[in-house]
Structure 1
């Protein structure tokens, strides 16, 4: 039996959720240590587990990994979700970086007193800057890069679902993305992750926001 993968983060989406998605699609079981107190966070600092004093923290292959991009790169490489060659990886990274930019705009919304102007800005940028890129890329191909499932596809599905939670109907002008979404949700691992009882986290609520603020006293975290 292999070594267990352990995720340390808050009981919410934030920066860890994309990592959960990748592990789920790769079929990797993981356990979670949920940060609920300042003392837990301070112990991680004292023990030297957080290189830059930030979570997420992922324990995998006898390593303690921090920094979201580094963690996702490792998982994608380990489980063949990062393309066949260097050129494919460059495209996957570009798509992923764009998607993370958009998702991070959504992640901060629960921490903003008046999110309405931010939501309007997200809608404008999504429709004018981000979604057209993926609509064009999916004009024909089943997947974004190299004819096979990659982390870029996983992140696009996650991002598109996040957008629809905040802006229902936003994909009405992007039929290729909507069709892609339908195909992706038929993947057995994804279907399981989207189903009841999975480790996918719900939309952030006041309890999550309060916990993050109390643990970090308060750095803006996601």
Structure 2
């Protein structure tokens, strides 16, 4: 029997959460090694396991995989969530890469300075409603199918569902003017594997609180205020 995938990260969402979502959607059980201190992270680096000396890292099929998109593409392809041909795969890539732009901004929201947080939330909501959500609303409306690509569940659908939930944490009624996305959210939430992952006690991580932020800051040496300045995302190692 093949070993369960093992996820190396801290006890929070960050870049690993999309991996957790995709494995959950594929019905794959996994283990996690969650470090709590900078020393634990540094020991992983010293052990020579981390290409580029950063996480996420996933041990799967005898490989130590790094770089989030590489990990996600591998999992999507392995579990039939990456389309049936190259044309479908490039559509999935286009949708996912677009989502990542917004995803990364939301991911760094906890690092906002208190006096900037509301402004940053407004920026996220505006960017979501003006640029990103209309794209997926139009796709679903134009082809009249249940999912974004090929009328079957794909990595793009899982990532969109995760992103919708993240945006709704910023503004609960953000889908008010997007009826097709409302239907999409309801449809995906009822899939048994997704429904299971949404339940309390699953390996899904909650929004980062102050205690979790302090742990992440200490591990990755992050600073407050690393978020959006003049419309530009500041990238960190979260």
Taking structure 1 as the reference length, the TM-score comes to: 0.97
Shift of 1:147: 1.2
Secondary structure (helix, strand or coil) at the match of 1:160 reads: helix
Query: Partner residue of 2:182?
Result: 178
Assess, with a 3 A threshold, how the Cα gap between structure 1 residues 221 and 207 changes in structure 2: closer, same or farther: farther
Distance in 2, Cα, partners of 1:107 & 1:221: 11
Distance in 1, Cα, partners of 2:186 & 2:160: 12
Distance in 2, Cα, partners of 1:109 & 1:45: 27
Query: Partner residue of 1:44?
Result: 44
Root-mean-square deviation (CA, aligned residues, Å) is 1.0
Select the residue among 144, 149, 153 that pairs with 1:149. Answer: 153
- What are structure 2's unaligned runs of at least 5 residues? 224-235
Q: What is the aligned residue count? A: 222
Secondary structure (helix, strand or coil) at the match of 1:21 reads: helix
Query: Partner residue of 1:128?
Result: 130
Query: Partner residue of 1:65?
Result: 65
Shift of 1:213: 1.1
Do the aligned partners of 2:4 and 2:29 also contact (CA within 8 Å) in 1? yes
Query: Partner residue of 1:192?
Result: 196
Select the residue among 160, 163, 170 that pairs with 1:166. Answer: 170
Distance in 2, Cα, partners of 1:126 & 1:185: 20
1:212 paired to 2:228 = no
Do the aligned partners of 2:125 and 2:170 also contact (CA within 8 Å) in 1? no
* CA displacement, residues 77-107 of structure 1 (integer Å, 9 cap, x when unaligned): 1001000000000000000011111111110
Taking structure 2 as the reference length, the TM-score comes to: 0.91
Detail structure 1 runs of 4+ shifted over 4 Å in the superposition.
none
Distance in 1, Cα, partners of 2:221 & 2:117: 21
Query: Partner residue of 1:107?
Result: 107
